[in-house]
C-alpha cells in the first residue's frame, strides 16, 4: 500500500512537471515569441509592455488554462464511463455524449446567434447559459444510449458501443444541418468550434467552465470508491447494500455535466476520455481514487501539448486541437480494440 501511494505521489509530481513544461513552451512560442524573462517581468508587473501584456494575458494564458480545465473534465468523464460500464473502450466522444451536447449548443448558437469562437463576446449571460444547454443535449444522448444498451436488465457492452456510434452520427448530422442554415460568418464560427478549438478562448470562457469542473471533479473524487465496487459486478454491489441504479444515475449526470461544460467552450474533442484513464491505470493501477488524480493531470497535459502542436506545426496557420488529439487518439483506439479482442 505504501509503495502504491509513493508511486502515485511520484507520478503526480512528474505529470505536474510535464504540465509546467507544456505550459512553458506554449506561452513562450508562437507567431510572436516571448522570452521567459519578459514573461516574468510582465506577470509580476515589473515591466509595462502593452504588447507583451496583450499576448500573455488576453491570448495565451486563458488558452492554456482552458486547455488544462477541458483536459481534466474530459479525462474524468472517461474514467467514470469506463469504470461504470467496465468497458475499456468507453469514451464520451465515442459514445455520442459529446455529439449530443454539441448539437444542443449548435441549436443554441442558431437560435440566439451566439458565436462561441469570438473572444470579444458581449453577451456574457448567453455564454454562461451554454453549459446548461449542453447538459440537456448530453443528458438526452446518454439517456438514449443507455436505454438501448440494456438487455435483460444488464448493460450489454456491444449494444453500448453500437448505440453510441449511431447516436454520435445522428447528433453530428443534426449539428451539421443547423450549422448549414446559419449565415456565412456564423457557419464559419460553428464549423471551427465543432472540430474542437480553443484558440480564441478568453477569461469569460474560463469563468464559465471552471465552477462546473471544480465542483464535479470534487464530487467524483468523493465517489471514486463506487467505481472500484463496480469492478466487482452489480450483484456484489447490491449485496453490500449499494443502490446501484441510483449511484449510476448520479455518476452519469456528473459525467454529462463535465462533458457539457467542456464542449460549451471547446467544441467536440474526442479521445482524451479514452487515452488519459488508460495511461493512468498503467501508471498507478486500478484504484480509482488514484486513477482520477492521474487521469486529470494526464488529460490537462495532453490537451495543452496538443494545442501547442496545433498552433506551431503549421504556423502561421493553426490546426484545431480536436484534430491533433484525433490524430493521436485513433491509432490508440485501434490498439485498444485489438488488445481487448485478444
Residue 301, C-alpha cell as written in the block: 497535459
CA distance 257 to 253: 6
- Extents of the domains making up the chain: 2-341
CA separation for the pair 63, 67 (Å, rounded): 6
Residue 76 neighbours by CB distance under 10 Å: 31
What is Dmax (Cα atoms) for the chain? 68
Cis omega (within 30 of 0) on the bond before 316?
A: yes
Q: pTM for this structure?
A: 0.89
pLDDT of residue 341: 61
pLDDT in tens, the chain (342 residues): 677 788 889 999 999 999 999 999 999 887 777 878 878 777 777 777 777 788 888 888 999 999 999 999 999 999 998 998 888 878 888 778 888 888 888 888 887 765 554 444 456 666 777 788 888 888 888 888 888 877 766 766 678 778 888 888 899 898 888 888 887 777 777 777 777 788 777 888 888 889 999 999 999 999 998 999 888 877 788 787 888 878 888 898 899 889 888 888 888 888 899 899 999 999 998 899 999 999 999 999 999 999 999 888 877 778 888 888 888 888 887 777 777 665
Q: What architecture is the 2-341 domain classified under in CATH?
A: Orthogonal Bundle (1.10)
User: Which sign, positive or negative, has the C-alpha torsion 236, 241, 244, 248?
Assistant: negative
Q: Which residues contact 109 (CB under 8 A, 6 or more apart)?
A: 115, 116, 182, 186, 189, 190
Which triple of cell numbers denotes residue 104? Answer: 444542443
Question: What pLDDT was estimated at residue 133?
Answer: 82
Provide the pLDDT for residue 119: 44
The pLDDT assigned to 157 comes to 66
Please give the grid coordinates belonging to residue 230: 463496480
Structural contact between residues 232 and 304, judged by C-beta atoms closer than 8 angstroms: no
Three-state helix/strand/coil letters over the chain: CHHHHHHHHHHHHHHHHHHHHHHHHHHHCCCCCCCHHHHHHHHCCCCCCHHHHHHHHHHHHHHHHHHHHHHHHHHHHHHHHHHHHCCCCCCHHHHCHHHHHHHHHHHHHHHHCCCCCCCCCCCHHHHHHHHHHHHHHHHHHHHHHHHHHEECCEECHHHHHHHHHHHHHHHHHHHHHHHHCCCHHHHHHHHHHHCCCCCCCCHHHHHHHHHHHHHHHHHHHHCHHHHHHHCCCHHHHHHCCCCHHHHHHHHHHHHHHHHHHHHHHHCCCCCHHHHHHHHHHHHHCCCHHHHHHHHHHHHHHHHHHHHHHHHHCCCCCCCCHHHHHHHHHHHHHHHHHHHHHC
Predicted pLDDT of residue 204: 83
How much is the pLDDT for 116?
Answer: 52
Amino acid at each position: 500500500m505504501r509503495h502504491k501511494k509513493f508511486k502515485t505521489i511520484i507520478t503526480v509530481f512528474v505529470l505536474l512537471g510535464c504540465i509546467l513544461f507544456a505550459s512553458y513552451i506554449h506561452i513562450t512560442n508562437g507567431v510572436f515569441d516571448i522570452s521567459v524573462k519578459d514573461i516574468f517581468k510582465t506577470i509580476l508587473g515589473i515591466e509595462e509592455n502593452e504588447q507583451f501584456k496583450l499576448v500573455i494575458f488576453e491570448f495565451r494564458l486563458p488558452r492554456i488554462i482552458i486547455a488544462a480545465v477541458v483536459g481534466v473534465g474530459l479525462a474524468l468523464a472517461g474514467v467514470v464511463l469506463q469504470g461504470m460500464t467496465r468497458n475499456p473502450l468507453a469514451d464520451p466522444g465515442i459514445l455520442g455524449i459529446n455529439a449530443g451536447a454539441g448539437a444542443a449548443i449548435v441549436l443554441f448558437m442558431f437560435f440566439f446567434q451566439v458565436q462561441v469562437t469570438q473572444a470579444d463576446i458581449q453577451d456574457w449571460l448567453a455564454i454562461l447559459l451554454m453549459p446548461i444547454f449542453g447538459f440537456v443535449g448530453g443528458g438526452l444522448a446518454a439517456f438514449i444510449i443507455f436505454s438501448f444498451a440494456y438487455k435483460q436488465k444488464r448493460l450489454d457492452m456491444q449494444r453500448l458501443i453500437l448505440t453510441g456510434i449511431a447516436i454520435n452520427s445522428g447528433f453530428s448530422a443534426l449539428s451539421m444541418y443547423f450549422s448549414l442554415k446559419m449565415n456565412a460568418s456564423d457557419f464559419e464560427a460553428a464549423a471551427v468550434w465543432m472540430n474542437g478549438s480553443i484558440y480564441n478562448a478568453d477569461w469569460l470562457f474560463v469563468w464559465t467552465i471552471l465552477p462546473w469542473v471544480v465542483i464535479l471533479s470534487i464530487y467524483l473524487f468523493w465517489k471514486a470508491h463506487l467505481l472500484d465496487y463496480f469492478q466487482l459486478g452489480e450483484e456484489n454491489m447490491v449485496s453490500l447494500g449499494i443502490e446501484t441504479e441510483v449511484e449510476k444515475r448520479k455518476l452519469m449526470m456528473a459525467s454529462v455535466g463535465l462533458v457539457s461544460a467542456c464542449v460549451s467552450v471547446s467544441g467536440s474533442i474526442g479521445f482524451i476520455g479514452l487515452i488519459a484513464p488508460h495511461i493512468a491505470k498503467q501508471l498507478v493501477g486500478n484504484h480509482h481514487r488514484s486513477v482520477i488524480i492521474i487521469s486529470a493531470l494526464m488529460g490537462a497535459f495532453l490537451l495543452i501539448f496538443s494545442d501547442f502542436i496545433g498552433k506551431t506545426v503549421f504556423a502561421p496557420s493553426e490546426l484545431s486541437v480536436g484534430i491533433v488529439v484525433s490524430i493521436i487518439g485513433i491509432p490508440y483506439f485501434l490498439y485498444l480494440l485489438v488488445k481487448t479482442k485478444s
